[in-house]
Amino acid sequence: MKAQILRSSSPIENRPLELVELPIPQVKAKEILVKVSVCGVCHTELDEVEGRVQPKFPIVLGHEIIGRVEDEPPQKVNCAIDFTPVGETVPQALRVLEKGGRLVLAVIRKRSPIPPLDYARLLWDEREIKSVANVTREDVQDFLSLAVEIPIIPEIQEFTLEEANEALLLLKQGKIRGAAVLRMG
């Protein structure tokens, strides 16, 4: 797999991220393998690159990702958090929970419905689903009214993985309008 690796802290102007080919990680107990399609570019990475936050080197940066789970964990997990906007992920997440496990739905709403759940296979053994939201219904109604008036149009600047150093440099220089993302090839 292609990745940008940081071997030591340096000003982003020195272009310290190095494009390398790494082996696909082997899934261990209580882990999943996610194939990343898009990764957000944010100030956390810039702080790690320039040494304001000290990561363990070498490191592949990136924590704001969108991707697809490629392999289920070899062992069951006791908790999972679903941030996705689609209902189809709920049964997939329930399948990997151990007895008494909890699935947390951390999304305001699902764009597609949650499919019917096989109780004996997915919820038996005291598995539970919990929803959390960090906004109230009133907050959403107020926001939607404002969004219509303003209107809100998201701005996204896309870069290739190979352009990660340039994307972080533009972020440092304040030249990113909206959000910047790296699209994997």
Q: Return the axis-axis angle of helices 164-172 and 43-50, rounded to nearest 10°.
A: 100
Please report which helix (H) or strand (E) contains residue 170, including its range. helix 164-172
- 145 lies in some domain: no
Q: What is the pTM of this model?
A: 0.67
- 142 lies in some domain: no
DSSP string over 53-94: S-PPSSEE---SEEEEEEE--SS-EEEEEE--S-TTHHHHHH
- 25 lies in some domain: yes
Place of tokens 């898009």: 38
Higher pLDDT, 119 or 153: 119
- 105 lies in some domain: yes
- 54 lies in some domain: yes
CATH of the domain at 25: 3.90.180.10
Percent of the chain with pLDDT over 70: 96
Residues of the chain by 3-state class (helix, strand, coil), percent to 5: 25, 30, 45
Domain count, the chain: 1
Higher pLDDT, 30 or 126: 126
52-101 per-position pLDDT tens digit: 999 999 999 998 888 888 877 778 888 888 878 889 999 999 998 999 99
Q: For residue 135, what pLDDT band results from cuts at 50, 70 and 90?
A: low
- 121 lies in some domain: yes
Q: Is the pLDDT of residue 141 over 90?
A: no
- 139 lies in some domain: no
pLDDT for 160: 98
- 123 lies in some domain: yes
Residue range(s) defining the domain that contains residue 99: 2-134+154-183
Higher pLDDT, 71 or 14: 14
- Given a contact cutoff of 8 angstroms between Cβ atoms, the answer to whether 50 and 61 are in contact is no
How would you class 26 by CB atoms within 10 Å of its CB: exposed for 0-12, middle for 13-18, buried for 19 or more? Answer: exposed
Average pLDDT of the chain, as a whole number: 89
Q: For residue 136, what pLDDT band results from cuts at 50, 70 and 90?
A: low
Average pLDDT value for residue range 4-25: 97
